Amino acid sequence: MPLVSLRQLLDEASKGGYGVGAFNVNNMEQIQAIMEAARKTRSPVIVQASRGSRAYSNDQFLYHLMLAATEVYAEIPTVLHPDHGNSPKTCKSAIEMGFTSVMMDGSLMADGKTPSSFQYNVKVTREVVEMAHARGVTVEGEIGCLGGIEDGHGAGLDGLAHLTDPDEAVEFVHQTGVDALAIAVGTSHGAYKFNRPPTGETLKMARLIEIHRKLPNVHLVMHGSSSVPKDLQDIINRYGGKLKPTWGVPVKEIQLGIKNGVRKINVDTDSRLAMTGAIRKVFAEHPEEFDPRSYLKPAREAMKEVIAQRMTEFGQAGHAGDYQPISLAEMAKRYAQTGASAR
Q: Which residues are catalytic?
A: 83
84 counts as binding ligand G3H under rule CB under 6 A: yes
CB of 39 to ligand G3H, least distance (A): 24
3 counts as binding ligand 13P under rule CB under 6 A: no
Nearer to ligand G3H, 115 or 152 (CB): 152
Quick check: 320 and 75 in contact, CB under 8 A?
yes
152: partner contacted, choices ligand G3H, ligand 13P, Zn ion, none (Cβ within 5-8 A by kind): ligand G3H
Helices H / strands E in the chain, number of each: 13, 10
CB atoms under 10 Å from CB of 213, counted, come to 11
- Minimal CA–CA distance to 218: which of 86, 83, 342? 342
Pattern 164-203, ligand G3H, x by CB under 6 A: -------------------------x--------------
Bridge partners, residue 45, by sequence? 78
DSSP state of 111: T
CB of 269 to ligand 13P, least distance (A): 4
Strand order in the sheet with 262-267: 78-82, 45-49, 20-24, 262-267, 219-222, 180-183, 138-143, 101-104
Nearer to Zn ion, 81 or 223 (CB): 223
Task: Give backbone dihedrals phi and psi of 22, rounded to 5 degrees, phi first.
Answer: -115, 115
User: Kind and range of the H or E element at 299?
Assistant: helix 292-314
Pattern 60-89, ligand 13P, x by CB under 6 A: -----------------------xx-----
CB of 9 to ligand 13P, least distance (A): 17
Stretch that binds ligand 13P, among 87-95, 202-210, 260-268, 318-326 (CB under 6 A): 260-268
Bridge partners, residue 221, by sequence? 182, 264
- Minimal CA–CA distance to 125: which of 172, 61, 183? 172
108 counts as binding ligand 13P under rule CB under 6 A: no
Longest CA pairwise span in the chain (Å): 63
53 counts as binding ligand G3H under rule CB under 6 A: yes
Nearer to ligand 13P, 84 or 212 (CB): 84
DSSP state of 262: E
d(CA 50, CA 29): 16
CB of 227 to ligand 13P, least distance (A): 8
263 counts as binding ligand 13P under rule CB under 6 A: no
CB of 289 to ligand G3H, least distance (A): 27
CB atoms under 10 Å from CB of 127, counted, come to 17
83 counts as binding ligand G3H under rule CB under 6 A: yes
24 counts as binding ligand 13P under rule CB under 6 A: yes
Q: Which of residues 208-227 bind ligand 13P (CB under 6 A)?
A: 223-226
Nearer to ligand G3H, 229 or 318 (CB): 229
Q: Which of residues 277-336 bind ligand G3H (CB under 6 A)?
A: none
CB atoms under 10 Å from CB of 119, counted, come to 10
The one among 138, 269, 276, 316 contacting ligand 13P by CB under 6 A: 269
What beta strand segments (E) does 33-175 contain? 45-49, 78-82, 101-104, 138-143, 147-148
User: Kind and range of the H or E element at 55?
Assistant: helix 51-57
Q: Which of residues 168-207 bind ligand 13P (CB under 6 A)?
A: 189-190
Task: Give backbone dihedrals phi and psi of 219, rounded to 5 degrees, phi first.
Answer: -75, 115
d(CA 165, CA 313): 28
Quick check: 49 and 316 in contact, CB under 8 A?
no
223 counts as binding Zn ion under rule CB under 5 A: yes
Binding stretches for ligand G3H (CB under 6 A): 24, 50, 52-53, 83-84, 151-153, 189, 268
Binding stretches for Zn ion (CB under 5 A): 223, 266
Binding stretches for ligand 13P (CB under 6 A): 24, 83-84, 189-190, 223-226, 266-269
